[in-house]
Amino acid sequence: MGWVLANLELIGSRTVSHLLLAVPAIVLSFVLALPLGWFAATHQWSRATLLTAAGLLYAIPSLPLFVVLPTILGFGVRDAANVIVALTLYGLALMVRSAADALASVGAPVRLSSTALGYSAAGRFWQVELPLAGPVLLAGLRVVAVSTISLVTVSSLLGVDNLGLLFVDGFQRGILAEVLTGIIATVVLALVIDALLVLLGRALMPWTRAARR
Amino acid sequence: MNYFTEAIAWILDPANAEGSGGVWARSAEHLWYTLLAVLLASVIAIPLGYLVGHTGRGRGLVVASTGAARALPTLGVVTLVGLILGIGLVAPLVALVLLAVPSVLAGAYAGIEAIDPRTIDAARAMGMSDWQLLTRVEIPLGLPLLLGGVRSATLQVVATATLAAYVGAGGLGRFLFLGLKTQDYPQMLASALLVVLIALILEALFEIAERVTARRLHVV
């Protein structure tokens, strides 16, 4: 506890840096996964290919990816952009599958009847399919958010500023409290973001609350 | 792209291949850590998953533990256990087992959970005891999902085993951290490529194993 109280400012600034890396990656992977998932859900032939590609993407170890990406993209290893791109790729790998499943779960009768009611393809997507797919999309997004926040810490091995630096620094200097603080702070941060997503889901999809048992 | 050719040249360089710190030895270490961690995790998680799946009790615990484990940063666990138990293989092994348990547990549990209740009822109606039901119906039918769980656990572990070198153990992570210290890009990249290669080989093996079990189950 003494270590935490003496280093509150440091923990605060590292938490902010942590969020600045994690949040853009989470948002980007959600936004990019939607069209890909939609494509996989509506074009059966592409489904297996897209999902296999996503699975293989997830198989790439994170630390090497942080190192390899700059050689392809031309960023520096410690650039925030490098970390965000890598995290977005992992988020995408998880989210594409969720998005494809979520959009595929909207039944054909629903689609046909909304077309019969006069919805255009775009109108049907935004006003019928997306809201109905919402709960499954949210479930996928929550998994992406939590694992992204945990994964950010690996980039600290390259010297990127985030909560993971507490592990690196604590380990090198033999401060157990610092490592422990880092773990707890990361888990708490993940749980807080997760809870916020649940609240956001309730605000955007009020009907799911009424349907709950 | 030039780094890639240099990295491949680094891997193929006979000077880097042989000896106790060579590519072959480090790859073998890496594979050994992975297998050991997945094996230990399976010994812990499969009986537990079967217990939960068979009795239907403790379901909430499984869901909660898999969720919490996802938030737990592996690097933090590696360094924490490393500080407590000292550097070496134990710290990364503990962290890797912790990483692998939730996936295996979920696979073992979901495999039984996903069986059609009518199949279970029919087995009971035929007079099977709990043990017979578990060993002759639930375990064989749950095999594909269990394999899926072990597969994703293995993938995560093989990728994360690179961190073992951070606390003084071996494995392919050695090249990565060595390269990191000396700004040796080809060496870092070589380490990454080797890990991906091992991951792909394991993926292919699991793919074959899954197809074989699926075919067996259809025949039976």
User: Is A186 in the B-facing interface, judged by CB distances under 8 Å?
Assistant: yes
What does the pLDDT read at residue B1?
Answer: 56
Q: Is A139 exposed, middle or buried (0-12, 13-18, 19+ CB in 10 A)?
A: middle
For residues B95 and A184, is the Cβ–Cβ distance under 8 A?
A: no
Please give the average per-residue pLDDT across A91-97, as a whole number: 87
Say how far apart CA A195 and CA A193 lie, in whole Å.
5
What does the pLDDT read at residue A121?
Answer: 82
Say how far apart CA B157 and CA B164 lie, in whole Å.
11
User: Is B103 in the A-facing interface, judged by CB distances under 8 Å?
Assistant: no
Task: Name every chain B residue with its beta carbon within 8 A of the beta carbon of A64.
Answer: 162, 176, 188-189, 191-193, 195-196
At A126-177, the pLDDT tens digits run 888 888 888 888 888 988 999 899 889 988 888 888 888 888 888 888 888 8
Considering the segment(s) A2-207 as one domain, its CATH architecture is: Orthogonal Bundle (1.10)
CA-based nearest residue in chain A for residue B207 = A52
Who has greater pLDDT, A84 or A71?
A84
Who has greater pLDDT, B220 or B1?
B1
What does the pLDDT read at residue A210?
Answer: 61
> Under an 8 A CB cutoff, do B73 and A150 touch?
yes
Out of B68, B76, B189, whose CB is closest to A68? B189
Task: Name every chain A residue with its beta carbon within 8 A of the beta carbon of B160.
Answer: 61-62
What does the pLDDT read at residue A212?
Answer: 52
**Could you tell me the residue ranges of all domains in chain A?**
2-207
Question: What is the distance, to the nearest Å, from the Cα of residue A83 to the centroid of all Cα atoms in its chain?
Answer: 13
Query: Any idea which of A41-45, A83-87, A209-213, B120-124 has the lowest mean pLDDT?
Result: A209-213
C-alpha distance from A103 to closest chain B C-alpha (Å): 23
Please give the average per-residue pLDDT across A168-195, as a whole number: 89
Out of B75, B189, B193, whose CB is closest to A154? B75
C-alpha distance from B26 to closest chain A C-alpha (Å): 16
Give the helix ranges, DSSP H, for chain B: 2-12, 14-17, 23-55, 59-71, 74-85, 90-113, 117-125, 130-132, 139-160, 173-181, 185-219
Reported residue count of chain A is 213
Please give the average per-residue pLDDT across A182-206, as a whole number: 89
What does the pLDDT read at residue B24?
Answer: 84
What does the pLDDT read at residue A115?
Answer: 86
At B134-157, the pLDDT tens digits run 988 888 888 888 988 898 888 888
Who has greater pLDDT, B2 or B142?
B142
CATH number, domain B2-219, options 2.60.40.4070, 3.40.470.10, 1.10.3720.10, 1.10.10.10: 1.10.3720.10
User: Is B71 in the A-facing interface, judged by CB distances under 8 Å?
Assistant: yes
**Could you tell me the residue ranges of all domains in chain B?**
2-219
pLDDT tier for residue A211 given thresholds of 50, 70 and 90? low
How many CB pairs lie under 8 A apart between chains A and B? Answer: 122
Query: Any idea which of A18-32, B31-45, B166-180 has the lowest mean pLDDT?
Result: B166-180
Quote the mean pLDDT of chain B. 84
What does the pLDDT read at residue A149?
Answer: 93
User: Is A154 in the B-facing interface, judged by CB distances under 8 Å?
Assistant: yes
- Tokens coding B174: 């050695």
Question: Quick one: what percent of chain A has pLDDT higher than 70?
Answer: 97
How much is the ipTM here?
Answer: 0.80
Query: Any idea which of A156-160, A169-173, B167-171, B211-215 has the lowest mean pLDDT?
Result: B167-171
In three-state secondary structure terms, B72 is: coil
Provide the 10 A C-beta neighbour count for residue A172.
10
At B9-64, the pLDDT tens digits run 777 777 777 767 788 888 888 899 999 999 999 999 999 989 888 888 878 877 77
For the cut 90, the answer to whether the pLDDT of residue A28 exceeds it is yes
